[in-house]
Amino acid sequence: MTGEVTIIVPELPGEGGVGDYTQCVIDKWPNQPSLKVVVPHKGSVELPPEGGNVLVQYSAYGFDRHGYPRKLIRALLDWKRQSRGRLVLMFHEIWTFCPKLDPNAITQFLHRRALKKLVNSADAVFTTTANQAAHLEKLCPGKSVTVLPVGSNIRRKEDVDLTRQRGWAILFGLAPGRIRALKQMHRSLSALAAGGSITKIIAVGAGNDGLEREERDLLSNLPLQEGFEQRGRQAEGEISQLMLVVSYGISAQDILSLEKSGAVMAYAAHGLTILNEAADSKSAEPACWFVSPDELLGGVSEAELAMRADRLSAWQQQASSWERIAIAFADSMQSSR
């Protein structure tokens, strides 16, 4: 690869998930070429002149509040046609699926039509989940889309050797996601708490007073022998250390979007047993290495739990380490591809 790489993102690092993702990629980019991060302003974006390399971290609602950044798409199409540079797309989200009578249906129809042109013009296309890849390949037959699951949003501390507490679980993520998990998994978590399989839950992540009260009420209704903690926003190192102390990670992530969950990948990177009702030994990775609440209630050996956690951790390292993600993007910028 020669020349500067322009990375187009909807937000800067520290402002949101895609911005933080981009910073992690930059930190691991091989050979450290000249990397320029650009946030579009009202749809307009500064692109390289002749030639050049552009990597788009695509998030429709991140770029446009209506979920259709048409000015950005048009600018990219014009640049690709005129400059003959290399265009690489990473889809964190695609278009929104709406019922025909939904007011947003027309907008998303136009969005999808514009994305078809953009994808067909790209030199390489990535997305975070197999489900999204299937939709993109159906939209653009003959176009190859590579699945690249997200990396862990919590880097593992390697200099600690801690003893895991049996029965302790972490519920990590933003407050709306944590509350959704507690509601969706209320029956199973209550049963696990009553049976002593889960004795303590530690909730970690950003929120606000109203959501923290709702979360507290939901946790209070679980018969946890050792109670619960709400630690709120914590430093990355503190979260990593906590994930090396607890035994379980609680997740209600949909099976179609597991690969785009930074929290799920953080659990996996830290060797946790992931409790998820979508667990299925017949599913593809990573869901085949999860443990369902019903399984835990029925009795799973410590050896089986350890084996699944080890396999899950190995899968995460092989499939979505930040080094692998950065190398995949760097390789896609090579003119031989």
pLDDT band for position 313 (cuts 50, 70, 90):
very high
Q: What is residue 258's DSSP assignment?
A: G
pLDDT tens digits, one per residue of 78-103: 999 998 899 999 999 999 998 888 88
Closest CA to 266 of 134, 173, 141: 173
pTM to 2 decimals?
0.86
* 95 vs 140: CA distance, rounded Å: 14
- For 282, list phi and psi in degrees, rounded to 5: -90, -5
Domains of the chain, CATH where assigned:
5-150+321-332 (3.40.50.2000), 168-319 (3.40.50.2000)
* 290 vs 251: CA distance, rounded Å: 10
The per-residue pLDDT of the chain, averaged, comes to: 91
> What crossing angle do the helices spanning 175-184 and 186-194 adopt, rounded to 10°?
70
pLDDT of residue 14: 76
pLDDT band for position 200 (cuts 50, 70, 90):
very high
Q: Count CB atoms within 10 A of the CB of residue 120.
A: 14
pLDDT surpasses 50 at 259: yes
pLDDT band for position 1 (cuts 50, 70, 90):
very low
Percent of the chain past pLDDT 70, that is, above it, reads: 97
128 contacts 77 by C-beta, under 8 angstroms: no
Q: Count CB atoms within 10 A of the CB of residue 230.
A: 18
pLDDT band for position 51 (cuts 50, 70, 90):
confident
Report, as an integer, the average pLDDT of 280-309.
92
Indicate the helix (H) or strand (E) that contains 190: helix 186-194
Structure tokens at 208: 């606000």
pLDDT band for position 179 (cuts 50, 70, 90):
very high
Structure tokens at 19: 């911005």
**Beta strands 5-8 and 53-58: pairing type?**
parallel
Strand order in the sheet with 53-58: 35-38, 5-8, 53-58, 86-91, 124-127, 146-147
pLDDT tens digits, one per residue of 56-70: 999 999 999 999 999
Report, as an integer, the average pLDDT of 41-46.
78
pLDDT of residue 227: 96
Q: Is the peptide bond before 286 cis (omega within 30 degrees of 0)?
A: yes
pLDDT tens digits, one per residue of 151-160: 998 988 776 6
String of DSSP letters for 116-149: HHHHHH-SEEEES-HHHHHHHHHHSTT---EE-P
pLDDT of residue 2: 54
pLDDT tens digits, one per residue of 106-123: 999 999 999 999 999 999
Determine the distance from the C-alpha atom of residue 20 to the mean position of all C-alpha atoms in its chain, rounded to a whole number.
11
pLDDT surpasses 80 at 149: yes
133 contacts 144 by C-beta, under 8 angstroms: no
Structure tokens at 75: 């600018």
Report, as an integer, the average pLDDT of 280-290.
90
pLDDT surpasses 60 at 336: no
Report, as an integer, the average pLDDT of 293-320.
93
